Amino acid sequence: MHRFANPARFLRLSAVIQPWAAGATVVLLVVGLYLSLFGSPPDYQQGDTVRIMYVHVPAAWMALFVYVNMAIAAAVGLVWKHPLADLFSKAAAPVGAGFTAVCLVTGSLWGAPMWGTWWVWDARLTSMLILFFLYLGYMALVNAFDDPERGVKAGNVLLLVGVVNIPIIKFSVDWWNTLHQPASVIRMGGPTIAGEMLVPLLVMAFAFTAYFVSVVLLRLKSEILARKIQTLRLNDAQGR
Amino acid sequence: MNRFLTLVGRDLRLALRQGSDATIAVMFFVLCVVLFPFGVGPEPNILARIAAGVIWVAALLASLLSLERLFQNDYEDGSLELLVLTPLPLEAVVLAKTLAHWLVTGVPLIVAAPLLAVLLNMEADGFGVLVLTLAVGTPVLSLIGAIGAALTLGARRGGVLLSLLILPLYIPVLIFGAGAIDAAILGLSPRPHILLLSGLLAGALPLAPWAGAAALRQAVE
Amino acid sequence: MPVFAGTDLTCLRGDRLVFTGLDFRVGSGEALLLLGPNGSGKSSLLRIMAGLLRPFRGRLAWDDAAVADDPDRHRGRAHYVGHLDAVKPVLTATENLAFWAALGGAPVPEERARAALARLGVPHIAGVPGRYLSAGQKRRLNLARILAAPAPLWLLDEPTVALDRAAIGLLEAIIAEHRAGGGMVVVSTHTDIALPGAATLHLDDFTPAGPDDGDDPGDDAGDDDEDTRP
């Protein structure tokens, strides 16, 4: 409990932020979905299929964004031993893994009409798949220890190793992909994004960010409370 | 340096006395490759086409097999605590133990690989590159694996967890390793692949001991 | 004359406060005896002294120079004997011991190893592989480690476990000799061990409150979480 003097302040702060983040999620999601489903033109090549992009691409951005944030928190946790930084990565991981899964599923759904198959070893999708495995590995490691603190610390080291490796993996997969596939495959979220497509894309990205913030705050809160309960029980067990 | 060699020597001696790690890794490697003709059929052209990838994937799995115990025994019998407390920096301890592990399990794989290439009808042009890529690539596998072995010390189901953590990180090594052999067989230069693979080794040499040492410090705390 | 001291040390395992506000001081030739019930943090304190565990708060100093500033140097001058004996079953007693002696910087590790085994009264196990040794012999082998390479500070966590009366007598003599040569010793123990003129430190004086029947945090910090989780 002594070490949660700081988290107490955090709990007060999060109580203020959280309703706003949750409200922003709802508003942005409604606006974003309206814009992407009705307020934007169909693609001249892909027709209405292109609307999958408004979920797929922001999810991909978020997947990477969350992982990088977790790695930054891991560095902060390792260097300054800040207890909140440790808890943040643990709280954020399932959300990030969820975004990655959404990205993979929508990618597969998008691929079906475009390529005529549910899965193509496209460089971006493959990199996302590996990122998904990195998320799963992190979550498995954090939960594999009897002492939760040890799990979080080991997870921090893994996150730093992972974030160093992500550019290497991305580069190697791109390299592998150009060697093994003809370059004529249509790329997802291709380079020709018109202005009227960009607006719904950004709104959706903000909606996802707001969602991420509100869910992580909630998960952090429950994690802190769980730790408090554990401390109380430990003290009970020791008759203090 | 003397202390470093003392530790390498002790680990080699332990491995030789216990005797099983090296042989099991090689036997697994051979068996794994031999399974493929049963799976895809004995058609020589198909086997020749997939030979490079199959041998590399099998090498990857074989090196993973013994990694779990890299620090496990020392952790359980208390030696690891004492190693943390010796004047030798912990990064050097990780590097020494990884080197010993590679000598015991990595080198036999390199020796066995050409034999397996024959079994899979690999084109003769690929043989030299196969050995070269394994010689540069397997140390990277051991180094990355050492991080995973240190991270999973004391975890439940450490072995399975280790593969989950480490296999995604092995992908670049696999891509450049198998790619170099394919390039050589197609008559292209394998040089860029091998240079990239060497780059991975150059990066892993300082980074893996650092991360492994950080993980070991947590494990003994 | 070197002095090893700690000021205002606080130890936290997980979210449990083990001890707080602890001060100690060991001078050249002195001994410190750690007493206290299970869970009072004797093992944790020894691990903090050795550098295995970082104190949550507080400062360790060697001759007024903070240990945290030069941890490598500190490891070179301390010997730690924990609960585990670190004996490899496939190596002979001499090989086991010579390895640690060499890592500790002894010039002729094999000779030192043999001499240390003789000093602990077990010269006959020199060529015997670790797996054939009894618990008491393993313990003596582990204690021989502190003789095989010289270091001024000895940190002994329950060194008498598995030792018979004669071996405890030997250990007492060895410690006395070490102190006579200017060495320092910190010992935690439940049994009687004669350390003439040793200062004592009762760890339960520094625990937050009340009696305590918990397990020793040194060897099972992980388990106590499991018992209390829903």
Question: What are the tens digits of pLDDT across the range A119-146?
Answer: 888 888 889 999 999 999 999 999 998 8
pLDDT: is A76 or B158 the higher one?
Answer: A76
Q: Domain locations in chain C? A: 3-212
Residue B159 with chain A: CB contacts under 8 Å: none
Nearest to C90 among B18, B76, B83 (CB): B18
DSSP of A103-162:
HHHHHHHHHHHHHSSS----HHHHHHHHHHHHHHHHHHHHTT-SSHHHHHHHHHHHHHHH
Domain A8-181+194-237 has CATH 3.30.160: no
pLDDT (tens digit per residue) in A188-232: 444 455 667 788 889 999 999 999 999 999 999 888 888 788 777
Partners of residue B50 in chain A, C-beta under 8 Å: none
Using the predicted structure, report yes or no on whether residue C195 has a pLDDT greater than 90: no
Distance CA B81, CA C47 (A): 10
Contacts of C78 in chain B (CB under 8 A): 85
Cβ contact (<8 Å) for A169 and B168? yes
Domain residue limits, chain A? 8-181+194-237
For residue C210, give the nearest of A150, A234, A239 by CB distance.
Answer: A239
Binary contact (A234, C224; C-beta < 8 A):
yes
Residues in C lying within 8 Å of B, measured between beta carbons: 50-54, 72, 75-76, 78, 80, 82-88, 90-91, 95, 99-100, 102-105, 145, 222
Q: Is the dihedral of CA B207, B209, B212, B213 positive or negative?
A: negative
In this predicted model, what pLDDT tens digit does every residue of B169-213 receive, in sequence order? 999 999 999 999 989 988 888 889 999 999 999 999 999 999 999
Closest-CA distance, A42 to chain B, in angstroms, reads 37
pLDDT at B28: 92
pLDDT at C218: 40
Task: Tell whether the model's pLDDT for residue C228 goes beyond 80.
Answer: no
Handedness of CA C47, C52, C57, C59 (dihedral sign): positive
pLDDT reported for residue B52: 92
pLDDT class for C21, splitting at 50, 70, 90? confident
Please tell me the distance from the alpha carbon of residue C173 to that of residue C19, in angstroms, as a whole number.
Answer: 32
* Backbone angles phi and psi of B3, in degrees to 5: -65, -40
pLDDT tens-digit map of B107-125 = 999 999 999 999 998 888 8
Instruction: Give the pLDDT of residue C70.
Output: 83
Residue A165 has its nearest CB partner, among B161, B169, B196, at B169
List chains adjacent to chain A, taking adjacency as at least 3 C-beta pairs closer than 8 Å.
Answer: B, C
Q: C222 vs A233: CB contact, 8 Å cut-off?
A: no
Reported as a single tens digit per residue, the pLDDT across C96-131 is 999 999 988 888 888 889 999 988 888 889 889 999
Q: How many Å apart are CA B188 and CA B173, to the nearest integer?
A: 19
Q: Does residue C207 register a pLDDT over 80?
A: no
Grade residue A105 by pLDDT with cuts at 50, 70 and 90. very high
How far off is chain B from C83, nearest CA to CA, in Å?
8
Predicted confidence at residue A6, as pLDDT, reads 65
Average pLDDT, chain C: 83
pLDDT at C100: 92
What residue in C sits closest to B8 (Cα-Cα)?
A: C99
Rounded to an integer, the average pLDDT of C169-195 is 88
pLDDT (0 to 100) of residue A1: 39
- The phi, psi pair for A75, rounded to 5°, reads -65, -45
Q: State the smallest CA–CA distance between residue A233 and chain C in angstroms.
A: 6
* Paired sense of beta strands C184-188 and C153-157, if any: parallel
Instruction: Please count the CA atoms within 13 angstroms of the CA of B217 that sit on its side-chain side.
Output: 18
A219 CA to chain C: closest CA distance, Å?
18
Interface contacts A/B by beta carbons within 8 Å: 82
Average pLDDT over residues B39-51: 90
Chain C residue nearest residue A2, CA to CA: C15
**pLDDT greater at residue C185 or residue C227:** C185
Find the CB nearest A146 among C212, C213, C225. Answer: C225
Torsion of CA A150, A155, A157, A163, to 10 degrees: -170
Give the pLDDT of residue A163. 92
Domain C3-212: CATH superfamily, name plus number:
P-loop containing nucleotide triphosphate hydrolases (3.40.50.300)
A240, pLDDT greater than 60: no
pLDDT of residue C212: 43
CA–CA dist B101, B66 (Å, integer): 9
Residue B141 contacts A, CB cutoff 8 Å: no
With bands split at pLDDT 50, 70 and 90, how would you rate the model's confidence at A186? very low
Question: What's the Rg (C-alpha) of chain B?
Answer: 18
- From the CB of residue C170, how many other CB atoms can be counted at a distance below 10 Å? 18
Q: Using an 8 Å CB-CB cutoff, list chain B residues near A135.
A: none
Per the model's pLDDT, the better-predicted residue between B51 and C38 turns out to be B51
pLDDT given at position A60: 92
Bigger pLDDT: B86 or B21?
B86
Model confidence at A239, pLDDT cuts 50, 70, 90, reads low
Residue B110 CA to residue B184 CA, distance in Å, equals 18
Chain C residues in contact with A237 (beta carbon < 8 A) = 214, 224, 227-228
* Encoded tokens for B114: 């050409």
A118, pLDDT greater than 90: no
Residues of C in contact with B84 (CB under 8 A): 52, 75
Please judge whether C17 and A2 are an interchain contact, meaning their C-beta atoms are less than 8 angstroms apart. yes
- The confidence score (pLDDT) of residue C217 equals 42
Is the complex ipTM more than 0.90? no
pLDDT at A8: 76
Q: Who contacts A104 (Cβ-Cβ below 8 Å, separation ≥6)?
A: A125, A128, A129, A132
Sorted by where each begins, the domain ranges of chain B are 2-220
Residue B45 in contact with partner chain C when CB distance is under 8 A: no
Size of interface A-C (CB pairs under 8 A): 52
Question: Is A234 in contact with C211 (Cβ distance < 8 A)?
Answer: no
With bands split at pLDDT 50, 70 and 90, how would you rate the model's confidence at A73? very high
CA-based nearest distance B64→chain C, Å: 24
**Rounded distance between C-alpha atoms, residue B76 and residue B158, angstroms:** 13
- Average pLDDT on B134-146 reads 95
